[in-house]
Chain A
Amino acid sequence: MAIEFKKNLAVFSDFVGVEEAEALLEWLLKNPKGKINLADCTHIHASNLQVLMAVKPTIAAQSKDEDLQLWLSTLLN
């Protein structure tokens, strides 16, 4: 699994594929205060991107991938 759902934190790692989008949305709906840890994430599929853009959760840790961080920091604020 590219996303590990903890109590109040979803940890993204490597490449988060299209199949994770549904679970991500469900989790975010269930945990409205859930935070996202992107530190070890290199890319998220567009489906996940639109979930994040729709919900705009708090980012607990930015991605170490500079380009991804730039994208997400403008899109999720």
Chain B
Amino acid sequence: MNSLLEQFLSEARDFLQGIGEKLMQLESDPTSTPLMTELFRFVHTLKGNSGLFDFPEMTRVLHASEDLMDAVRNGRVGYSQKLADELLEAMDFVGVLMDEIEAEGEIGKNHATTATELAQALRSLISDSKVSTPVAEQVSIDSFSEDGPAVKAISWDELPTLNLAETVAIELYRCAINGDAVFWIEYTPEPECFFKGEDPFFLARQVPDNAWRNAILNNTASSLVEMDVFSSQLVFQFLTSAPAEELDDLFRYVPDQIHRIEIPALAFVKPIGNTDESVIDDDFINNTLLLLENDDLDGVARTIKTMLELSAPELWSSSALRWVLQLIELEPQNKAAQRLLLESLRTLTPPDWSTLTHSVQINSITTNPVISVDISEFPETLLRDFHTVINAQREILSLPANTSGEWSVGRLKSVAVSLIGCYRAINQAHEVEAIDAALQNALAENSPTPLLTWLESALTNVPELTVTEEDPQIATIFPVATQNEVKFGRRVEDTTAAATASKTLKVDQDKIDRLMNLIGEMVVAKNALPYLANRAETVFGVRDLAREIKAQYAVINRVAEEMQDTIMQVRMMPVSFIFQRFPRMVRDISRKLGKEVELVLEGETTEADKNIIEALSDPLIHIVRNSLDHGLEQPDVRLAAGKNAAGKLLIRASQESDRVLIEIIDDGKGINPDVIKHKAYEKGLIDEATLERISDQDAVNLVFAAGFSTADVISDLSGRGVGMDVVRSAVEKVNGTVGIESEVGKGTRLYLSLPLSMAVTNVMIIQSNQQIFGVPMDIVVETVRVPSIHIQRIKQKQTTVLRGRIVPLLSLNDLLASNVAQLPNEDNEFATLIVRVHGEHVGILVDEFRETVDIILKPMTGILGGLAGYSGAALLGDGSVLMVLNPRELI
């Protein structure tokens, strides 16, 4: 899981919590505008954040919530209990999604329907001027088909007219008979979809298993000249046997633009062909029908096959006969359909399947709710569900009225709607009028009694059921209001459990800093043990004790190191933390400057200590601004120079051993050393002599000098002369280095090298002139002993050849200006520390090497702070002070 997502999840939970709290507070103070505004802001931010990721289900629900809250905030919709419930439920749903994302990294496909429902419910709250009217009305009526609201049960005349080739139709018919639902999909992209980066045609090409497809152009413009090519006027149509979930997933971003119908098998049975002539006479039809009546299907098939051999295949009648054969083979029981098809041969017009609704529905898979059957024929499960819903309604009705003594109109209506739905489902639609009447009475009296009385009386007409335990199927058969209300209710109890299981812990940074300081002290204290062991042996003469202390030291050392590592990891942050603001910044600045910039970010997962990352943010912004302002040219200049119009700005982070390297590379005009030299000379930063002999690289480095600026005009972006030297000092403050390389016309590369962490520094102790000094290990390349005969003098400088490379040698005593020669060992060899400074290897001659230690480096302050040759001081285990050298400045 990427860190951005992690951050989103942790933040989103806070938001959810906040939204819940605000809603609770609103309940006691429903008119409070600040609360309302705060709530809107929460929902708004959460929606915005969720949009960063690929969670359309979550964004959809949040978007609807946001719209609703906006309406509430502007007073278009009044706050109500119902509204709070819906919002809380939506937030619970978002919580469920987040759990799923955390556990599996994505949202399951099964949530799409719920998301649409919730969003719909929320939106209907906006459209209803009376907020108290429950949304259950739309939902309960629409969603009586088993497939949820996305697929509506339809009647025959709603089916699209299908004009398919016979072979395709037969194939689809077979699919439908075999139980694979065949869907008719009409995808109407919204006109402005191109501006949202959508490509409806691409989406259309992804529809799986389509047997037939088409696109229609609804060009509204009167002539081609007026055609608006950027407004979608297309409608895509498909017939596909792909599973519903797959289709839901495919169109998950545009569910509202999809019209999906499940096509009953018989709808494909539609003979086509030439109707001008027919070789079939009434006798043949009558005979075949007679055979059919006698259940002689083989006989029917035989007769038809003979007939087919005699007639031309492209005739309408032949097509119809072939269909009869299909029907006999696949639906041998469906006599009515076979008969109807044979009858149609008399008129040569397609059979009207709607006339045999009853038998068709039994045989095909689609269940049409409008079937007139006796109630006792209903399966037990359906009856059980019926009772569950009815009982729930009875409970609702027996609830006490709310505090003000008013019976909510919405509650009554909701109950009535649920009841109507139930009775429709068991085909007792005639009860609807009675329910309506009872509802009117109840509304007039503002009491639930009339409805309750009706319910009691009505229940006696329905066969009672002995089984009462809950059936899990209820969810699929009745996605109605009652079920909706309890769906996420369990979440509330779950939240406590989930909160304790939460994996992230937010801790104040001060506490971490304190912990780190303590561990630092511990490291120092631990370092005292070897001294103690030494003293035990040399001063007190107890060798065994010394050995035991050393053994104990090893253990403490290991634990301390682990502690240190762990605390470092706690403080580690990915550089994406600062990188993520660049895309926006680069976009804004480049717009302002009229430049085209392609920003590439690399290595965003590279981690470093929080302090380092924070210290880096300002310098980086500075550098990026500089690159945009001075580095990259205007598009026309770039084109003239033979480059792409869009400049490329690459920001790359990488880890180099224990340092983080950040490079900012642009392919702009580069830095012209001559210009820099002269500017520096004009500003009095260098004298004439320097101007003459300064190398190009040194000249480029002058941009880091204090007070340097090349821009002639001070803009709000750069040109105040406080740019690069501020960058350098900020970077050096955290023990980092900054460098620049540039080639005129090709571009500039700026690099920052920073330590991963700055808490504990590993230094090597060396001895020179009877004093000890520390040298940071990160710049030490190696330690060698150079025999004095191998030291050559080139002019005034000492050098040696080390593995075929000339290495300049410097004496530490000289560097520290103490006029004493370095001491060689008894073999006349000089201890030489090879260090890497500004990318080059330099040897420093010292008197003796000592051990390496971990120290807490304290920078020097006050008057001593001006001594650039030292990077700081530290306490050693024996209580002495170690001065740590800064070879970069020293050399």
Contact = CB atoms under 8 A, between A and B. Distances in A.
Contact of B230 (A22, A55, A75): A22
B194 to A, nearest CB: 5
Interface in A25-66: 25, 28-29, 43-47, 49-51, 53-55
B367 to A, nearest CB: 34
Contacts of B189: 46
Contacts of B234: 46, 49-50, 53
Interface stretch (B195-203, B461-469, B617-625, B842-850): B195-203
A22 B219 CA distance: 15
B199 A67 contact: no
B201 A54 contact: no
B227 interface: yes
B232 A47 contact: yes
A3 B338 CA distance: 55
B202 A25 contact: no
Contact of B229 (A22, A68, A75): A22
B224 interface: yes
B646 to A, nearest CB: 15
Contact of B200 (A21, A24, A46): A46
A54 B215 contact: no
A49 B201 contact: yes
Contacts of B201: 43-46, 49
A74 interface: yes
A47 B194 contact: yes
B486 interface: no
Interface residues of B, number: 21
B224 to A, nearest CB: 6
A53 B201 CA distance: 12
A1 interface: no
A46 B230 contact: no
B721 to A, nearest CB: 43
B214 interface: yes
Interface string B210-225: 0001110101000011
B205 A54 contact: no
A55 to B, nearest CB: 6
B194 A18 contact: yes
Interface in B222-276: 224-225, 227, 229-230, 232-234
Nearest to B217: A53
A69 to B, nearest CB: 12
> Interface range on chain A: under 10, 10 to 19, 20 to 34, or 35 or more?
20 to 34
A67 B202 CA distance: 11
Contact of A29 (B213, B217, B225): B225
Interface string A4-23: 00000000000000100110
Nearest to B213: A71
Given A44-B201, A46-B189, A49-B215, A21 B224 contact: no
Nearest to A28: B224
Contacts of B225: 29
Interface in B697-752: none
Contacts, number: 62
Contacts of A18: 194, 199, 230
Given A18-B230, A25-B224, A46 B214 contact: no
A75 B201 CA distance: 12
Contacts of A22: 229-230
Nearest to B201: A46
A41 to B, nearest CB: 12
Contacts of A75: 214-215
A21 B229 contact: yes
Contact of A25 (B194, B204, B214, B227): B227
B194 A43 contact: no
A46 B204 CA distance: 9
Contacts of A67: 205
B200 A54 contact: no
Given A46-B194, A50-B234, A71 B205 contact: yes
A46 B189 CA distance: 10
Contacts of B205: 43, 67-68, 71
Given A21-B229, A22-B229, A29-B225, A46 B217 contact: no
Given A44-B201, A45-B202, A67-B205, A21 B217 contact: no
Given A18-B194, A18-B230, A22-B230, A46 B202 contact: yes
B602 to A, nearest CB: 26
Nearest to B198: A46
Interface in B296-325: none
A55 B213 CA distance: 21
Given A18-B199, A43-B202, A49-B215, A54 B230 contact: no
Given A53-B215, A53-B217, A47 B202 contact: no
A37 to B, nearest CB: 19
A19 to B, nearest CB: 9
B215 A21 contact: no
A43 to B, nearest CB: 6
A59 B358 CA distance: 50
B233 A50 contact: yes
B639 to A, nearest CB: 16
Pick the most buried of A24, A45, A46: most chain B CB atoms within 10 A of its CB. Answer: A46
Interface in B642-685: none
Contacts of B217: 50, 53-54
Nearest to B219: A54
Nearest to A18: B194
Contacts of B200: 46
Given A46-B189, A46-B194, A54-B224, A25 B229 contact: yes
B235 to A, nearest CB: 10
Contacts of A46: 189, 194, 199-202, 204, 232, 234
A51 B229 contact: yes
A22 B215 CA distance: 20
Pick the most buried of A18, A25, A49, A68: most chain B CB atoms within 10 A of its CB. Answer: A49
A49 B229 CA distance: 10
A5 to B, nearest CB: 16
Nearest to B234: A50
B224 A47 contact: no
A55 B232 contact: no
A74 to B, nearest CB: 7
Contacts of A44: 201
Contacts of A24: 229
A50 B204 CA distance: 13
Nearest to A70: B213
A45 B200 CA distance: 8
A50 B224 contact: no
Contact of A47 (B204, B213, B229): B229
Interface string B119-155: 0000000000000000000000000000000000000
Nearest to A46: B201
A44 B234 CA distance: 14
Contacts of A25: 224, 227, 229
B194 A55 contact: no
B214 to A, nearest CB: 7
Given A44-B201, A45-B201, A53-B217, 19 more contacts: A21-B230, A22-B229, A45-B194, A45-B202, A46-B189, A46-B201, A46-B202, A46-B204, A46-B232, A46-B234, A47-B232, A50-B217, A50-B229, A50-B232, A50-B234, A54-B219, A55-B224, A67-B205, A74-B214
9 contacts: A25-B224, A44-B201, A45-B202, A46-B189, A46-B200, A46-B202, A46-B232, A50-B229, A71-B213
The 4 closest A-B pairs by CB, nearest first: A46-B201, A21-B229, A53-B217, A46-B200
